[in-house]
Each structure stands twice: as C-alpha cells, then as structure tokens.
Amino acid sequence: MAGSERLTHGDLAAEVGRANRPLPRPTRLPLYLALAYLVLIGYASLYPFANWRDLGVAPLEFLGAGWPRYWTVFDLAVNVFVYLPLGFLLTLALGHLPGGRWSAVTAAVLIGSLLSLGLECVQNWLPTRVPSNLDLACNAAGTAIGALLGAWNGKRILRRIARLQQELLAPTAQVELGLVLLGVWLLTQSSPETLLFGSGDLRNVLELTPAVPYAAHSFFVLEAALIGCNTVVIGLFARTLLADRASTHMALFAFFVVALVIRTLAAAVLVAPQEAFAWLTPGAEVGLLIGGVLLTLSLLLPASTRVALAAVALMAGTALVNLTPANPYSEAALAAWKQGHFLNFNGLTRWMASLWPFLALPYLTAVGRRH
C-alpha cells in the first residue's frame, strides 16, 4: 500500500512539473516554409523565363478548352503532388484565422487555386509552356488534399514542432528563418552541376566566362579551398540555430552526412548510377578534411566571433566558386544527362545555389547584431 502511495505521489509530482513547464512559443516555421514553397512553385512553373511574347490568346481561354490531347498519368500525379505540401503548410500557417481549422482549409485551397490559375495564365506568354485546365484542376486537388491533411493532424504537428524548437534550437527570432535557409542549401546539393558545397556562382546567371582556365593543379587547389571554406560556413551557420545545451558536434556531423547522402543519391538518380560518387574528387577529400578541422576549432570561439568568421568565410567561398574552373570530367558526364522531367527542377536548384550566399549574409548580420 505504501509503495502504491509513493507511486501515486510520484505521478502527481510529474504531472505538476509538466503543467508548470512553460508552453512553447508559437512557431512561424510553417509560414516561412509556405512562402518559400510559393516561390519555388512560381519559379518551376515559369522556367526558363525566356522568349516572352504575346501569342494572341486570351489569358483565360484555356479554361474552356476540352480534354488535352497529350497527357500522362505521371504528369497528372506530379501536378497533384507538387501542390499537396503547399496546402498542408498553408493550413498550418493560417490556423490562427477566425473560424478555426476549416477557415484555414478554405483559405489554403483558395490561395493554392488562385496561384495555379495565375501561373497558368502567365504561361500564355511563354512559347515553351502550355496552359491547361487539367493542370489547374490537379493543382487545386493537390492543395485541397494537403489542406485536409493539415486540418486532420495540424495541431499535433505544430505542438511537436514547437516542443522540438524549444528543446533543440536557439531561442531567437531568426531561428525559423535560418532553418528555411539551411533547408534551401540542402536542396541545392541535389544539383549535379554545382561543385560540392558550392554556392554563389554567378557566371551562368550573368553569362560570364571562367576567369581561370582549367588546369589540374589549379582546379585541385581552388576546389579544396572552396569546399573547406563552405564547410566552415555551413557548420557555423547551423551552429547559430542550435541551443547551447544541444549536442553540437553530433548534430553537425549528422547534418553533413545528410548533405553528402543527398549529393550521392542525386547524382545516381539524375545522371547515372556510376556517377554517384563523382563529387568525391581529391580536392573534395582534402577540402572536407581541412574544413572539418577548421570547423572543430571554430566551434571553440565565442558566439559573436563565430558569426563574424562565418560571414567572412561565406564571402571568401563565394569569390572562390566564381574563380574555380569547370571540371571537364564532370562536364562530360553531364553532357550525357537526359534531364527530361527534371529540367525545371535542375534550373531551380542552380538558381537557388547562385542566390543562397546573398540570402545567408543578411541572416548572419542579423544574428551578429544580437550577439
């Protein structure tokens, strides 16, 4: 009986402790992710942004068209699946609207459908794109499915996200934005055309020729320096997101493993299985080793110094990626790449990689001011 009473008192004490624990602050992560996803959908729908011209077709004429002559189940499934995360994220982000979750579902479906309608209309001015009422219907259906999933399990997911943020992430106003930027960087690693961890290459965007001609030794040195710099940048960037009590070294190691797995799988799937480890060049091996050592030492520095070092290394890495010549062996492998359905995705990841440092630097500046 006494043991039973002790157990009851212990349970009661645990319940009191949980009740007194501060509630996690509301998370804005779904909103940031939804906005980022809106931009990604817009880019993928209008790529390659070339040869704009008026074809003499009314913008909404496609709504009254019959069943498209050419279509595949794959295309229909993609059009549904692509908009599903948008509906899900918008429902989570709009859960505070009056009327509860069904108001959020209605608003999410409306936003997703209007976005799809607007993009289909704009495609009238792109000769390489064909607006389709079937695409619009699939996009709206995908948004609706995602919104219903968000309404079904959204509150539980938001509570879990907020708890994880409270336990693992730094209690700062910028942490959610930083998570989105880090996720964007991970996505850029799926582009087989970019150098490992390389970002900020503006040569394709500005149609510039490489400043340094290819030579084996110079490529090795520049590639190793570039990867070493960016290992430090990404590691210190991720460190700004982690709470002080988090297991920093294990978290960063796991993150880099994920990045390399994404790189490997992307090369195997998008190019060819035998190109899975094409990124593992001698320069990459040296760069990862040097960068890992420098990152380990950098983590011993005060927080303000770490942020400043990350910003300097970011600018150095951006300069190096614009100096590093293209690897002719990689170009030969990519020349045989049949991009097909991945053409828009690859263009998107290249642009994201080009712009990432210019989005990350303002974030680091804001974090540096806090310190």
Question: Are 358 and 201 a contacting pair, CB within 8 Å?
Answer: no
Across 9-13, 38-42, 157-161, 164-168, the highest mean pLDDT is recorded for 38-42
The CA distances from residue 249 to 14, 240, 298, 303, 357, in Å, are: 31, 13, 12, 15, 23
- 274-279 — which CB contacts under 8 Å span 24+ positions? 275/192, 275/333, 278/192, 278/329, 278/330, 278/333, 279/196
What secondary structure, in 3-state letters, does 63-111 show?
Answer: HHCCCCCCCCHHHHHHHHHHHHHHHHHHHHHCCCCCCCHHHHHHHHHHH
CA dihedral 167, 357, 260, 208 (to 10 degrees): 170
Q: Please report the pLDDT score of residue 49 as a whole number.
A: 72
Bridge partners of 169, per DSSP, are 242
Q: How far apart are the first and last CA of the chain?
A: 55
Which residues make Cβ contacts (< 8 Å) with residue 196, sequence separation at least 6? 189, 223, 227, 263, 279, 284, 287
Query: Which of helix, strand or coil describes residue 242?
Result: strand
Crossing angle (nearest 10°) for helices 29-46 and 101-122: 20
Taking residues 199-224, report their average pLDDT: 80
Per-residue pLDDT tens digits for 49-99: 777 787 777 778 777 777 777 778 888 898 999 999 999 999 988 888 887
Q: Which sequence spans correspond to the domains of the chain?
A: 29-168, 175-370
Taking residues 330-345, report their average pLDDT: 56
Please tell me the pTM assigned to this model. Answer: 0.76
- pLDDT, averaged across the chain: 82
Query: Which of helix, strand or coil describes residue 49?
Result: coil
Q: How confident is the model at residue 294 (pLDDT cuts 50, 70, 90)?
A: very high
And the tokens for 184? 């964007």
